[in-house]
Structure 1
């Protein structure tokens, strides 16, 4: 049980894991789309299936992952092993050229990555406590986006000068570094009852039944909203990467890295701003609505441009939407499960919604593009994003607890 303030070593471990895991938890992301289109000459439809395979595998594993994290005291080991499996999956994609081996490797990546976000969030809650959780998650996301920024810069340089294969090797390097960094977190400083969403430190009460959680209307509305958010969002950057690979061969990897770097810079600032806004007592729903509002604008703008500079500029909007989502989704999950002992299960459900939305976006969007072209594909995603905005605006209640107007020190140094 947590009995004192977390040590600087454990807090450094949390910071380091979030920084280094940024390039591991999502695998190679949109670079896979460029790799398969540019190096393997795949069509948009099969590329969409390959991208969706990771999302589907992650979706299937999310609920078991949440349940395992809720009940396990081996969270550090789970993070390290999951990262190494992601690295091995990236190596398999480079080594094997066929459709089915790539599909299998993507499924392996998705299954392994399912464990990482809930385990990191559980460690954060178990170390700093509920009062400091909003500020801690804001800090986690700032480090995560900073890590993605650094990884994108390295990936762009490696891909351009050494070849696209080196982007996959880079993920392997970050996976090993992440496994080392997680050992900095001291096991004795993790309150595992609190980490699963118990009402207070040392609360050993049984978690509420799974069915009882799913009977809550606000939980269902939140999960539907998250699914629609990613249905409208997930395929936009991969489509943009395919457009660049087709229209600007040789510039696609550098331009895609520029997209990610610029967006991640925005996300760092947005994650910090979201933390400050929550500390000032601004409601979660009001903040999240901004992220929903950005998506359709981004889709419409993408449909009108094929230039590298235009794509990079539009991708800045993703920095706003993703920066908000990364913080608020975890905090709203915490709000909705306060005292239930089901925080990590709820994270699994949120990640399941993300996976389902991402899979639908890549598969449906991929075949829309193949049949009607990229502009129509972007506009179809924008239309789905409008639906997501309306569902969240009209049906989702505010989750901010009445007393939660002070979130404390983002580093967690105040926790006791």
Structure 2
């Protein structure tokens, strides 16, 4: 297996590992008679831990030459924390495991992005990120289907066994990546052979307006995006429209299936036309998604809603690391920058669910207070409100386009399926 193939395989198998148990944790804990309040609390604890750790871990990935070891260690930590939950689901153990899982999971994306940049170089980065993201979404679909099938035999505990198998495979894929193929200077955003300027990573971030603007755009996008699918499921359950778990599962698979071709197409578009059309399309998709979700309360609407999520999220999965690499090229601070924008995403996502709940409860009253009468339910108002956040993000993007490096990569050459970086680091 050559290095680029191993890197793609790593993204496939790590898909189920880096996010931990995800939505399955709530189902598992509910079956152990946990209260909704306690379930929500441990999920929040894990989310906050990951959000706070993302930027510092990006800085750590910039500084270390042991990026393969970071990836393996983080994957093992997520797996161990999840197995601890399986064998001892007490509040303390689950909370501690969520903290460990959140921190470890935050290290995986910058570590993989750094290895990718160090292996293929900046000219081929967006192309390989497209392959990585397609493999990642394919891994999510495969693991979701495996969990669904195995759950009929052993119940929700099946997710723990599927995750363990994926973790072992991800370790094998990481070990198949040759250390000598990673140029660690290029991996942190420097040009081959360029010396570090010694500046603080955080100082570079604060002095880069394009990165700050991009982080704010992503924060607004994820504020509008994160609560959309959970809100669809809540509406199905609240209105008795069908099996909410079934429809949510179908919607998740639909979104991931759409993300696979979108990731590959986005990489090609970036190579030929740059990032502007991609960002525009992703930011437009979310308001449309809100309108579609608000158009009818029927359960089947979850499918087109999540297909649109596949468009927006599939594009941003490719654009985010590639554009951060472009913005911070030559600074040696790529991974701390990627961590910073991921933190911004996390902030937006963290407040999304709370804002959506408030809009469901009070949105119609607010509209009535300003003389706007609507036949929408509270859920419909919330969907439109979430979509409005992306409209603000779109307006901001149009306003700051001139300061962002959105043009296609100059000197791009056709992608090669080789092993070595443009200027390999010494073994």
Distance apart, 1:291 and its partner CA: 0.8
Stretches of structure 1 lacking an aligned partner (at least 5 in a row): 1-7
Mean Cα deviation higher: 147-156 or 332-341? 147-156
Counterpart in the other structure of 2:289: 298
Counterpart in the other structure of 1:4: none
Counterpart in the other structure of 2:333: 342
Summarize the alignment of residues 341-380 of structure 1 with structure 2, pairs less than 5 Å apart.
341-366=332-357, 368-369=359-360, 374-380=379-385
In structure 2, distance between residues paired with 1:332 and 1:62: 18
In structure 2, distance between residues paired with 1:11 and 1:403: 20
Residue 17 (structure 1) aligned to one of 10, 17, 33: 10
Summarize the alignment of residues 255-404 of structure 1 with structure 2, pairs less than 5 Å apart.
255-280=247-272, 282-366=273-357, 368-369=359-360, 374-397=379-402, 398-400=404-406, 404=410
**Is contact 2:123–2:413 with CA below 8 Å preserved after alignment?**
yes
Summarize the alignment of residues 108-127 of structure 1 with structure 2, pairs less than 5 Å apart.
108-127=100-119
Counterpart in the other structure of 2:145: 153
Distance apart, 1:119 and its partner CA: 0.5
Find the residue that maps to 1:24 and give its secondary structure: helix
Distance apart, 1:176 and its partner CA: 2.3
In structure 2, distance between residues paired with 1:204 and 1:294: 41
Counterpart in the other structure of 1:80: 72
**Is contact 2:3–2:418 with CA below 8 Å preserved after alignment?**
no
In structure 1, distance between residues paired with 2:166 and 2:215: 31
Residue 176 (structure 2) aligned to one of 180, 184, 196: 184
The TM-score with structure 2 as length reference comes to: 0.85
**Is contact 1:207–1:341 with CA below 8 Å preserved after alignment?**
no
- What per-residue deviation string (whole Å, max 9, x for no partner) do you get for residues 366-416 of structure 1? 555577764444333223222222222222434135752625216456854
Mark the CA change 1:14 to 1:41 in structure 2 (over 3 Å): closer, same or farther: same
- What per-residue deviation string (whole Å, max 9, x for no partner) do you get for residues 279-337 of structure 1? 21x12122111111111222333345554432123211111011100000011100110
**Is contact 2:205–2:212 with CA below 8 Å preserved after alignment?**
no
In structure 2, distance between residues paired with 1:176 and 1:250: 37
- What per-residue deviation string (whole Å, max 9, x for no partner) do you get for residues 58-78 of structure 1? 121112111111111111111
The TM-score with structure 1 as length reference comes to: 0.87
Counterpart in the other structure of 1:60: 52
**Is contact 1:48–1:366 with CA below 8 Å preserved after alignment?**
no
Counterpart in the other structure of 1:173: 165
Find the residue that maps to 1:28 and give its secondary structure: coil
Find the residue that maps to 2:330 and give its secondary structure: coil
Structure with bigger RCO (C-alpha 8 Å, 6+ apart): 1
Stretches of structure 2 lacking an aligned partner (at least 5 in a row): 364-377, 423-427
Distance apart, 1:52 and its partner CA: 3.5
In structure 2, distance between residues paired with 1:301 and 1:400: 30
Residue 415 (structure 2) aligned to one of 403, 409, 415: 409
**Is contact 1:244–1:307 with CA below 8 Å preserved after alignment?**
yes
In structure 2, distance between residues paired with 1:208 and 1:221: 21
Mark the CA change 1:253 to 1:175 in structure 2 (over 3 Å): closer, same or farther: farther
**Is contact 1:296–1:382 with CA below 8 Å preserved after alignment?**
yes
In structure 1, distance between residues paired with 2:173 and 2:288: 39
> Cα RMSD over matched residues?
2.8
